[in-house]
Structure 1
Amino acid sequence: MKIRFTLLATSMVMASSASHADNRSDDLRREGSVAEQASSAEGFVPDGWYLEKSVAGDLNRDGLPDMALIIRQDDRTLIIEGDRFGRDRYDGNPRTIVVALKQASGGYRQIARNHQIIPVTGSATMDDPIDNASDGSLTIENGVMRLKIGFWASAGAWHMFNRTFAFRLHDKKLLLIGYDNHHVHRGTGELKTVSINYLTRRKKTANGNIEDDHVPEMWSKIVRKPLIPFDEIGDGYDFDPDNY
């Protein structure tokens, strides 16, 4: 019964987030709302949005500093007052990640963007998915872009987790090459971790408890599938690493 209640509560918190996501602005889905080329990071930010984070690194190994941006809608009506649970208010504005390559002739060219992978905060009891992630929520290192998101709720769910998505350019497309998930049940201490390399098709899993001195690891092979493009990944909380 406790497990069933926990899953139901988690689903309710997730559904609350999805409800707010459904109501967010669709401005960025319209062709041309985010510039295809710009001279700086600010040039990719449309009206009514702001630049929240910018990171640099060489994605295509041409020696030039490419960049990944997190831009966020700036709608005051989406700053929501909390109820008697959780924070006094929370920010329900959506985020978009924009990835652009530095051009030898100057400026940047957009190659990919994703409006959904960073979940929208949908409840005063939910931590911000970026703030709750470990340091370095968005990075570019050694030709790989990584995004880290986290889930934690002060009420309505016992579960908490951190997820990392890893992307690399292949044939001019930014593709998912790796996925990691670290999941803990705060009530029981149950621990589950998953790490997948989609290039080698190797999957590592570990199940145990946070009080265990040693958690055994198991390795397996996954079915070969086409690598999924960055812009085709939906809500990061809903991502199923085995079925996409």
Structure 2
Amino acid sequence: MNQNFNFLILLSFLFYNSPGNAQTESTAGFIPNGYVLLEEHSGDVNKDGLEDCILIIKNTKEENIVENRFGDIVDRNRRGIIVLLNTENGYEPILKNLDCFSSENEDGGVYYPPELSIEIHTNILKIHYAHGRYGNWEYIFRYGKSDYRLIGYESSENRGPIVNYKTSINFLTKKKQVLENENMNSQDEVGIFKETWEKIKIENLIKLSEIQDFDNIDMTKY
């Protein structure tokens, strides 16, 4: 195990510091000690016409490099997000949440763990999880007042190519749409969906900076 452990640390160091993953000089100073850069995304966060930057980072604690139930050595360090606004004086950090995403090497049970990806549109940030044959879900944030606030949620619960349920929540209009496949028990991939609408109760929009763990967000209460 020690040999495998040391090899994984070396491999991780080489990967995170390879040319394709190295942070640019302009963002290097915003990576906290003990973290490495995984992804760097550009987009206009605050609608001022300038290209801002969003960093996905990862902790590097050695104690989180562990042996999983299959005997493989995996990196279970958590991931986080940093938002940098582009100003005339360079980048300015306006949001940090250093550990809100679980590791990409978490135990996925009978399947692999969900794959995290993000998209930046003008003023909008989409945090997307894809879980293969089981479906996907997405958190939609809008920037304002130095933070991103959750304004929407989309999910699809699948059984292979068959969609069982689709859920769409709009936290601004306080409405939820649910599409239930009335043909889900057949092998027909073309669904017959029953549509229902509900009103939800929410007083304050969830802030991205305050989310401790995306895995623990309970959307069933809305």
- Per the normalisation by structure 1, the TM-score is 0.67
C-alpha change, 1:190 and 1:163, in structure 2 (3 Å) is closer
Letter in 1 for 2:178: T
Gap regions ≥5 residues in structure 2: 1-24
Match of 2:69 among 83, 101, 110: 83
Counterpart CA distance in 1 for 2:94 and 2:102 is 22
Alignment of 1:169 with 2:143, yes or no, is yes
Match of 1:178 among 136, 144, 152: 152
Match of 2:122 among 142, 152, 155: 142
C-alpha change, 1:79 and 1:161, in structure 2 (3 Å) is farther
1:92 shift after superposition: 0.1
Question: 1:231: which partner in 2?
Answer: 209
Match of 1:59 among 11, 21, 45: 45
Letter in 1 for 2:168: S
Counterpart CA distance in 2 for 1:238 and 1:165 is 13
1:86-235 matches, cutoff 5 A: 88-103=72-87, 105-120=88-103, 121-123=105-107, 125=109, 127-129=112-114, 132-133=115-116, 137-151=117-131, 160-185=134-159, 191-208=164-181, 209=184, 211-213=188-190, 214-235=192-213
Q: Number of aligned residue pairs: give it.
A: 191
Deviates more, 1:43-52 or 1:53-62: 43-52
1:57 shift after superposition: 0.7
1:227 shift after superposition: 1.1
The answer as to whether partners of 2:77 and 2:102 remain within 8 angstroms in 1 is no
Counterpart CA distance in 1 for 2:206 and 2:106 is 27
Gap regions ≥5 residues in structure 1: 1-38, 153-158
CA deviation vs aligned residue, 1:48-103 (integer Å, no higher than 9, x gap):
2110001111111111111111100123442323333xx83332011111112111
Letter in 1 for 2:205: L
1:193 shift after superposition: 2.0
SS of aligned partner of 1:138? strand
The runs of 4+ residues in structure 1 deviating greater than 4 Å are none
Counterpart CA distance in 1 for 2:119 and 2:206 is 19
The answer as to whether partners of 1:89 and 1:124 remain within 8 angstroms in 2 is no
CA RMSD of aligned residues (A): 2.8
1:116 shift after superposition: 4.2
Identity, in percent, stands at 29
Q: Which has the higher contact order (CA 8 A, sep 6+)?
A: 1
- Per the normalisation by structure 2, the TM-score is 0.73
Counterpart CA distance in 1 for 2:143 and 2:33 is 29
Question: 2:7: which partner in 1?
Answer: none
Counterpart CA distance in 1 for 2:92 and 2:214 is 25
C-alpha change, 1:172 and 1:123, in structure 2 (3 Å) is closer
C-alpha change, 1:49 and 1:99, in structure 2 (3 Å) is same
Question: 1:42: which partner in 2?
Answer: 28
1:106 shift after superposition: 2.6
Counterpart CA distance in 1 for 2:108 and 2:221 is 31
Deviates more, 1:118-127 or 1:43-52: 118-127
